[in-house]
Amino acid sequence: DIQMTQSPASLSASLGETVTIQCRASEDIYSGLAWYQQKPGKSPQLLIYGASSLQDGVPSRFSGSGSGTQYSLKISSMQTEDEGVYFCQQGLKYPLTFGSGTKLEIK
Amino acid sequence: QVNLLQSGAALVKPGASVKLSCKASGYTFTDYYIHWVKQSHGKSLEWIGYINPNSGYTNYNEKFKSKATLTVDKSTNTAYMELSRLTSEDSATYYCTRDYYDGYTDYWGQGVMVTVSS
């Protein structure tokens, strides 16, 4: 199975700050990566797929990049509503696997 | 609008089985795979498997092959997941989610909490 390693496990950011979350795959996943946001008590929501494609309706302050085994999610200007847990997920091979999550809070 | 409505929370005894439902609306049910995902205690996510509602073809995570059985009822646009021989390790929230493409999932059910306890 492809292992997904996320970092950091948690972070806090001020309003307007730029935030970056990292995700590393145990093998090349050829940009087959998605990012999800999960707010407390809610279901995950797709933000980014194909490593860098923004899902419809997702604010443009979210962006994804990377290739090979290294990927990142950037929030260009932290907003209150961005608090939550962020997961990466590889879609290249089954079984689909997720990172352990990054908890993002407002400072 | 697309909606996946899951059945309510379940409290089940160890060793028993439970069948969870996921009723789809707002799109053509047979056009999209349905995945099931486990989330234990608000932690990370585990992919259980998917079913093709059109053909009934299933693909399971090896870890859940003897635990979960996925089925669909096309007449009611409902996907089901049966979990068998339940233990405390199966206590978790389970989500159904629609495949967007290439293993990415765009719409999620609200989740159902399963508690295994005597």
Q: What average pLDDT does chain A have?
A: 97
Per-residue pLDDT tens over the stretch B1-30 = 999 999 888 999 999 999 999 999 999 999
What residues in B contact A45, CB-CB < 8 Å? 108
| Alpha-carbon gap, residue A33 to A91, rounded angstroms | 6
B45 vs A55: CB contact, 8 Å cut-off?
no
Query: Tokens for A77?
Result: 């200007």
A98 vs B47: CB contact, 8 Å cut-off?
yes
Report chain A (107 residues): mean pLDDT per 10 consecutive residues: 97 97 98 96 96 96 98 97 97 97 96
Q: Return residues 85-104 of B near A (CB < 8 Å).
A: 95, 97, 100, 102-104
Partner B contacted by A92 (CB < 8 A): yes
Q: What average pLDDT does chain B have?
A: 96
Q: Given A43, A87, A89, which is nearest B108 (Cβ)?
A: A43
Burial class (CB in 10 A: 0-12, 13-18, 19+), B100: middle
| Alpha-carbon gap, residue B11 to B91, rounded angstroms | 9
Per-residue pLDDT tens over the stretch A2-29 = 999 999 999 999 999 999 999 999 999 9
Q: Which amino acid is at A81?
A: E
Measuring CA to CA, how many Å separate A5 from each of A20, A49, B56, B69? 14, 17, 33, 29
Partner A contacted by B43 (CB < 8 A): yes
Partner B contacted by A98 (CB < 8 A): yes
